[in-house]
Amino acid sequence: MHPELDKEACNGCGVCVEICPSDVYQWINEMPEAIDLEECIECGACEDQCPVSAIAMVDD
């Protein structure tokens, strides 16, 4: 599994950047992006904590 970020739904709050224990998310052009998917430990914290439900854990 890996996180999939819906860029249209994302409000750019950065909760995912702050909460991810594996640093999967980074700031790119002032918006969070999941760029290091191979580091994901599949904890689901980003999906659970996203206030606008812009992240979903999906099967590889």
User: What percent of the chain is modeled with pLDDT above 70?
Assistant: 100
Considering only the C-alpha atoms of the chain, give the largest distance between any 2 of them, rounded to a whole number of Å. 27
Domain residues for the domain of 24 are: 2-58
Phi and psi angles of residue 32, each rounded to the nearest 5 degrees, phi first:
-70, 145
Residue 50 sits in a domain whose CATH number is 3.30.70.20
| Number of folded domains that form the chain | 1
Give the SS3 label for residue 24.
coil
Write the pLDDT tens digit of every residue in 10-23. 999 999 999 999 99
Q: 51: which 2 tokens?
A: 């206030």
* pTM score: 0.89
CA distance 6 to 17: 15
Both tokens assigned to 2:
């890996």
Q: Residue 45 carries which DSSP code?
A: H
The 10s digit of each residue's pLDDT in 4-55 is 999 999 999 999 999 999 999 999 999 999 998 999 999 999 999 999 999 9
